[in-house]
Amino acid sequence: VLFYFRPTSFILNQSKPDSVEDSDEEQQSAYQKLLSTMIQGADDNSEDEESDDEEVEGNEEEEEEEEEEGDVAKEDLEGEAGETPDNSQNKERPEKTNGDLEENEEGEFTDKKNEAAFCLETNLPVEGEENMGEQEEEDMFVKHQEAELSEEEVGRILQGSKIKTQVKWPKLGTQQCACPLERFPAVGQLYSAPLPTIHKTLEANWCLLNQSFAPNGGAVTDVTDLQKKLLGLMGTYRDVHFANSSPLREAKEVRSAYCLHVLNHVLKANTRVLRNNAKLKETKDVNEEFRDQGITRPKVLILVPFRDGVLRVVQTFITLLEPKGKIMDVSNKKRFKEEYGEEPGESPPKLHRPDDYHAVFSGNIDDHFRIGVSVMKRSMRLYSPFYSSDIIIASPLGLRTVLGADSEKKRDFDFLSSIELLIVDQADVFLMQNWEHLLHVLKHLNLQPLDSHGVDFSRVRTWNLNNWAAHYRQTLVFSAIQDPQITNILTKHCHNYRGQVCSKTISKVGSICQVLVQLPHVFQMFQSDSFMDQDARFQFFVEKILPQYRDSVMSHTFIYVPSYFDFVRLRNYLKKDDISFASVSEYSQRSEVSRARHFFQKGEKQFMLFSERFHFYKRYTIKGIQNLIFYGLPMYPHFYSEVCNMLQAGVREGGGSVSFTCTALYSRYDMHRLAAITGADRAAQMLQSKKTVHLFITGEEKNT
């Protein structure tokens, strides 16, 4: 029987399978499938994206501010469907294509015309790179790749036992270091790791690291001390969690630093392969081996929340790779700008929102995307098929639709089998989208592939064949806050043999100092058995807190709920008890939000149930609040002061004197959030105290 196989790009395109499915092979082991020479096509089940049509209702009693905010709701975040963590708005793509690209059913494109020019197997090194092997001996990249682990050491890594130390470094703050193996010790107290060896291609431009975000016509700032420390730390190939990447300050520097690290890693890896290609072409020794590759080509996975993040990453890549005085060859750059850039006039009018809001929601904020990037000889190809890509940039939702669910027969995750470098940027934003999508991606990293995908096994590294790729993968996590769920990424999903370095920066001054309203803050502690014990919080609220506010005198009560699951639980309880309330969440239609705000401000509804994700995506000012309840402490500390300062809106409009109250619930597992709001010293006292109620008063000349 003769089978004919046509090359496909089913991973990026989610196209229909072009090869024959062999359902009888399901009983084979993964190893047997790996060694099989017949490449089995795969199909990706795509999820239909829905875009809800927003209902626009005229309301004569709406205030001018409500009308203004309602009118820009569609433009603000590309519609309600685009704001919610589970629904992504599918923007229409131009129907026309050029000769370089192929289109699939979903309107995605992959570049196949340049396949040969960017093929690692057939290309040879450029002049000047043939004899770079002598310079690599002391390169940490080579040391990391060529380190050999024993089965006993792998077993110790999987057991999770680690030697932990705590050090304090300039610019990075207090860091907790953990190393699973004694022969790869943690970074010392006097941290002075030099900058990593820069690849020859990047030598001329790496100092222009910050050019991509320099003001037009302005001077390019030099590499900052923070970037030097991060580059030195990333160059050790340890896992890193940096939890002080504020979108207003450090985020741009962090992005440029990890982009340099990514290109440095990819260029070094590709140069080794090309140099060994030349050696194999010249050698006569058939027994000589060059194990320099993974089972699949993708080496780097970068996860970002929005398309604008992809645009900034690619712009930084071009800045670092482009020769001085020359224009770099970037395939499909025009289409990339169309799909990932922002059209003129597409951005909403300047809204009265905090600076951090504009920093996060700038540019194209679609959250369903994935793109392959390949780099070869100072050229870059965008929209390369995943199996021909060096770098994959995607959102968790965009990858989730490719990976599929466990129950689906036609799914593929082999392209993630040889990932050597994982970057999770803006991890805190993923918490506001859908955290399960990120966890789903992490579970499918570095698994043993089911197909060979045409790999030359004589070139595959031994630790890839042993299915130990997860122990050689470096993971870099950057976030604006500290959160147990983010920390859990490194604890549960990262097993790097070189260990981890996690920042433990805690603010000395809490965000409560930014509250301008004269307001008593009552913090009430409840007993909980674990971080995920939501029943204890619910019972405490229902039995101790809610009865105090059910009297009609305590009207205009605003309940801030961080978790959507808690929001639904409270909403069902209030409905069952026939309590007068309005609710606003990230899934509420614009008309529902307008009615809820109106009824609450006028006192027709006693309670307003308000989700944190809605505040994250909208930042509306809710008027008429007199009693404030934080069912849980906000994930972002500045949200606490923002919500408390909403009480001023009612005072300015009403003009009368009103007595305000504020109650916040916390447990001992809310340590990080409590410290960010009240300050580290006060939080420690509150958690160690035998008292369960603590009072703060703001708005006076001297805060108490």
Which tens digit of pLDDT belongs to each residue from 618-650? Answer: 999 999 999 999 999 999 999 999 999 999 876
Q: Is the pLDDT of residue 98 over 80?
A: no
Q: pLDDT digit string (tens) for 20-37?
A: 333 344 444 444 444 443
Question: For a pLDDT cut of 90, what percent of the chain falls above it?
Answer: 53
Type of residue numbered 316:
T
Output the average pLDDT for the chain: 80
Q: Does 325 or 392 have the greater pLDDT score?
A: 392
Q: What single-letter DSSP state applies at residue 169?
A: E
Q: What is the pLDDT of residue 260?
A: 95
Averaged pLDDT for residues 397-421: 89
Q: What is the pLDDT of residue 661?
A: 93
Specify the DSSP element, H or E, that contains 75: helix 73-76
Task: Report the range of poorest mean pLDDT among 309-318, 474-483, 504-513.
Answer: 504-513
Task: Report the range of poorest mean pLDDT among 390-394, 481-485, 504-508.
Answer: 504-508
Q: What is the pLDDT of residue 478?
A: 96
Q: What is the pLDDT of residue 104?
A: 55
Instruction: Please choose, from the candidates 443, 430, 452, 450, the residue with its C-alpha nearest in 3D space to the C-alpha of residue 470.
Output: 443
Q: What is the distance between the alpha carbons of residues 468 and 313, in angstroms, rounded to a whole number?
A: 29
Homologous superfamily of 511-697? P-loop containing nucleotide triphosphate hydrolases (3.40.50.300)
State whether residue 496 is helix, strand or coil.
coil
Q: Is the pLDDT of residue 682 over 50?
A: yes
Q: What is the distance between the alpha carbons of residues 310 and 306, in angstroms, rounded to a whole number?
A: 7
Instruction: Please choose, from the candidates 474, 478, 475, the residue with its C-alpha nearest in 3D space to the C-alpha of residue 428.
Output: 478
Q: Which parts of 174-332 fold into alpha helices (H)?
A: 225-234, 250-282, 307-321
Q: Measure Cα distances from 99 to 74, 96, 376 in Å.
A: 35, 10, 21
Q: What is the pLDDT of residue 350?
A: 62
Q: What is the distance between the alpha carbons of residues 676 and 68, in angstroms, rounded to a whole number?
A: 33
Q: Can 157-283+290-343+354-504 and 511-697 be said to share one CATH topology?
A: yes
Neighbours of 270 (CB within 10 A): 26
What band does 313 get if pLDDT is binned at 50, 70 and 90? very high
Q: What is the distance between the alpha carbons of residues 158 and 497, in angstroms, rounded to a whole number?
A: 10
Q: What is the pLDDT of residue 126?
A: 65
Averaged pLDDT for residues 552-570: 91
Q: What is the pLDDT of residue 487?
A: 92
Q: Does 180 or 655 have the greater pLDDT score?
A: 180
In order, the DSSP letters of 584-634 are E-TT--HHHHHHHHHHHHTTSSSEEEEEHHHHHHH-PPPP---EEEESS--
Q: What is the pLDDT of residue 284?
A: 65
Averaged pLDDT for residues 472-477: 97
Q: What is the pLDDT of residue 655?
A: 53
Backbone angles phi, psi at 374, to 5 degrees: -125, 145
Q: Does domain 157-283+290-343+354-504 have CATH number 3.40.640.10?
A: no
Q: Is the pLDDT of residue 468 over 80?
A: yes
Q: What is the pLDDT of residue 441?
A: 96
Q: Is the pLDDT of residue 253 over 90?
A: yes
Averaged pLDDT for residues 55-81: 39
Q: Which parts of 133-239 fold into alpha helices (H)?
A: 140-146, 151-159, 225-234
Q: Is the pLDDT of residue 316 over 80?
A: yes
Q: What is the distance between the alpha carbons of residues 332 and 537, in angstroms, rounded to a whole number?
A: 53
Averaged pLDDT for residues 448-457: 87
Residue 344, classified by CB atoms within 10 Å of its CB into exposed (0-12), middle (13-18) or buried (19+), is exposed
Type of residue numbered 452:
S
Under a CB-based contact definition with an 8 Å cutoff, are residues 420 and 497 in contact?
Answer: no
Q: Is the pLDDT of residue 294 over 60?
A: yes
Q: Which parts of 406-501 fold into alpha helices (H)?
A: 427-432, 435-443, 462-465, 484-493
Q: What is the distance between the alpha carbons of residues 519 and 660, in angstroms, rounded to a whole number?
A: 6
What band does 261 get if pLDDT is binned at 50, 70 and 90? very high
Q: pLDDT digit string (tens) for 111-170?
A: 767 777 778 767 777 665 555 544 566 788 999 999 999 999 999 999 888 888 888 877
Q: What is the distance between the alpha carbons of residues 431 and 439, in angstroms, rounded to a whole number?
A: 11
Under a CB-based contact definition with an 8 Å cutoff, are residues 599 and 96 in contact?
Answer: no
Domain boundaries, the chain: 157-283+290-343+354-504, 511-697
Q: What is the pLDDT of residue 25?
A: 40
What pTM was estimated for this model as a whole?
0.83
Instruction: Please choose, from the candidates 101, 122, 105, 119, the residue with its C-alpha nearest in 3D space to the C-alpha of residue 382.
Output: 101
Q: What is the pLDDT of residue 211?
A: 74
60 Cα distance to chain centroid: 42
Q: Is the pLDDT of residue 680 over 70?
A: yes
615 Cα distance to chain centroid: 19
Type of residue numbered 51:
S
Q: Is the pLDDT of residue 380 over 50?
A: yes
Instruction: Please choose, from the candidates 240, 238, 229, 241, the residue with its C-alpha nearest in 3D space to the C-alpha of residue 185.
Output: 238
Q: What is the distance between the alpha carbons of residues 161 and 24, in angstroms, rounded to a whole number?
A: 42
Tokens matching residue 633: 């402490």
Q: What is the distance between the alpha carbons of residues 380 and 321, in angstroms, rounded to a whole number?
A: 9
Q: What is the distance between the alpha carbons of residues 551 and 599, in angstroms, rounded to a whole number?
A: 18
